[in-house]
Amino acid sequence: MGNVQAAPGSVGPPSTAADGGRTVTAPRRVRGAFVPQSTALRESSGPALRDAPDGNGLPGLIDANAARLPAEAVVARKRNGRWENVTASAFRDEIRAVAKGLIASGIRPGDRVALMSRTRYEWTLLDFALWYAGAVPVPIYETSSAEQAAWILADSGAVGVVTENTGHRALVESVRDRLPDLRRHWTLEPEAGNGAGGDAAGRGTEPPAVEALVRAGGEVGDAVLDRALATVGPDTPATIIYTSGTTGRPKGCVLTHGAFLADARGVVQVLGPLFRTGESSVLLFLPLAHVFARLVQVVAVLTPITLGHAPDVKTLTDELASFRPTIVLGVPRVFEKVYNSARTKAREAGKGRIFDAAAATAVAHSRALDTPGGPGPGLRLRHALFDRLVYRRLRAVLGGRATHAISGGAALGDRLGHFYRGIGFTVLEGYGLTESCAPTAVNPVDAPRIGTVGRPLPGTSVRIAEDGEVLLRGPHLFRGYWNNDAATAEAMTGDWYRTGDLGELDADGYLRLTGRKKEILVTAGGKNVAPAVIEDGIRAHPLVAECMVVGDGRPFVGALITVDEEFLPRWAAERGLEGLTEAELLEHPELRAELQRAVDRGNAAVSRAESVRRFHVLDHRFSEESGHLTPSMKLKRHVVARDFSDEIEALYSS
């Protein structure tokens, strides 16, 4: 897998040796003395990306599928409670019909059109229809506030917007006077609300968006659409995705058709065995406003495999059971919830000891797979027994057919990584950002390394700067921030993108993340502390919803903790405390002791100087609505620190 470069600090160039398609540094002699080379690398590159014609950018994938596999099911949509397949030719025809409607409605190549909706079939349909028309989709999280939506619509200069329901429509209309470029507004469900209030401005005056667009485009000929499509190429902007904005105003990342295609082809080149046309399927429940879901959408069409959509995560278990995907996507919190829920149900049924023994066996079995001898006879026997009793039921919760999942957004942690591989459901962690079209690195199917985010994808490179910052390079990188040349220049060092993440490369080029550059705390004693390592360990406990480590300039490290509102009642019932109020539970000695055990687990991953000495339990939930989480569920640390400054001070007042 490409080239790897040794850490600096030695005299003269290192010798190299070929190793499985990679170039690795070898020990060498300096002035007659044998000097062992450091195992740390400064740079790792993926293999060459296989050339493939980009054609008319992303729409070319739709045309290729319709021509090559016209009867293949490329999408499944749910109607009246049943999944219905949409063939490649039918999907292409519907996309073209909607694209003609966009052109008839005045949408021209280069125009920005916003999408504000949950993840659903129509989002993918509209994405590709806009690309056929040469336009640029601009996603908005369906949970966004009016102020957030106004900023994205105004900054991008969107001339049109598609909202999901009357609540979203009313939200956009409430800021319409601040959007001079906005000319058209369509709604997917003009008669359906979302609890945000009705839409006095136009409810019921037009049919659903897709129907309206198909009707509008009835008189637009193929030649007109083909002229618009001809404007699309590898360097054409495919989307402008606004960053989550943990600090300041969100910035619009301009991602091209070529960047998406390069990244998608790299993913397929590495994870090819997971994408089998005619057999494989993926259920998309992550928000399509996020770059990870958008990239998965492109990968599904590229391969092609069957793509399904699940709008409501509250019914995710039922959707997984009915759709039965072969690949599951998620973020660590999803996999933590599945584990914690299964363990709680086992304990409620009086089978807690069996579950815990099965979990320990799964972890041990997975760890043994990484040793030369592998699992011993006794461990293999226990593992086979628990597979019949426990593991197959856990796999059934995830649909029953999937053997692998792809996780991103945060670290999963060694414990859960080994647990899932041990039950026969390997979670492949990857790493990327909005600016890199999602993944730059991913764990390969045949050689996952738990605790890392994998190796660079084909055509990409990862470099570790002198201060430990992770730098990225490759054809998948963004073209820049929309209307913000200063921010673009600040983010780049030559052709390397500065991620702001800290990490290290092992001897085989696997990347391990160690924290965020801007989040590093320096205690009064001068100790540098990376919060993510401790927080991930503490948050692994089912009682913990969120954890934020504090201690910059302080004598020791502290933490703010919020309790999981779903798990708390179960925990209380197990201990005969169900009669207490939540406020009483948060002050109860048993809960404090349980949270101390969670903190101890987090502390076990770091030195004593970095460990949490005191913690405060907040009677509060961090959420996007409260302003403490971004739409992608990242902590807004500066907001939390501001809003709970008194609680932080109390940690150090005695």
Check which CATH number belongs to the domain holding 172 and give it. Answer: 3.40.50.12780
507-540 b/e with 16+ CB inside 10 Å = b? bbbbbbbebbbebbbebeeeeebbbbbbbbbbbb
Residue 161 near residue 135, CB atoms below 8 Å? no
In a domain, 606, yes or no: yes
d(CA 590, CA 587): 9
Taking 50 as the pLDDT cut, the residues of the chain under it are 1-38, 195-204, 246
240 assigned to some structural domain: no
Question: Does residue 32 sit in the same domain as residue 79?
Answer: no
SS3 301: helix
Q: Strand 426-433 vs strand 404-407: parallel, antiparallel, or unpaired?
A: parallel
SS3 annotation, 380-434 = HHHHHHHHHHHHHHHHHHCCCCCCEEEECCCCCCHHHHHHHHHCCCEEEEEEEEH
Which neighbouring-strand residues pair with 140?
116
Strand partners, 241: 253
Element (H, E) at 593: helix 589-603
Neighbours of 243 (CB within 10 A): 19
Amino acid at 204: G
Residues ≥6 apart with Cβ < 8 Å to 638: 246, 247
Residue 640 shares a structural domain with residue 590: yes
> The domain containing residue 198 runs over which residues?
59-232+277-323
Domain assignment present for 504 = no
Angle between helices 352-369 and 332-348 (to 10 degrees): 140
Comparing CA positions, the residue from 615, 630, 606 lying closest to residue 530 is 606
Do 81 and 202 reside in the same domain of the chain?
Answer: yes
pLDDT of residue 518: 78
Between β-strands 455-456 and 438-442, what pairing exists: parallel, antiparallel or unpaired? antiparallel
pLDDT of residue 205: 65
Residues 35 and 167 in one domain: no
Q: What pLDDT digit, counting tens, does each position of 384-411 carry?
A: 999 999 999 999 988 999 999 999 877 7
Shared domain for 155 and 292, answered yes or no, is yes
Helices 567-574 and 332-348: crossing angle, nearest 10°? Answer: 30
pTM recorded for the entire structure: 0.82
* Per-residue pLDDT at 203: 45
In 3D, which of 494, 516, 512 has the Cα closest to residue 504?
512
Q: For residue 96, which phi and psi values (nearest 5 degrees)?
A: -65, -35
- Domain shared by 18 and 74, yes or no: no
pLDDT score at 5: 35
83 in a structural domain: yes
**What pLDDT score was predicted for residue 524?**
76
pLDDT at residue 158 in the model? 98
Co-location of 33 and 181 in the same domain: no
Distance set, CA 167 to CA 163, 174, 205, 586, 648 (Å) = 9, 11, 15, 36, 38
Domain count across the chain: 3
The radius of gyration of the chain's CA atoms, rounded to the nearest angstrom, is: 26
> 23 with 141, same domain?
no
Residues 9, 140 within the same domain: no
Does residue 110 sit in the same domain as residue 12?
no
Is 249 within a domain? Answer: no
Q: pLDDT value at position 654?
A: 64
Q: How far is 170 from 577, CA to CA, in rounded Å?
A: 44
Domain check: are 65 and 19 in the same one?
no
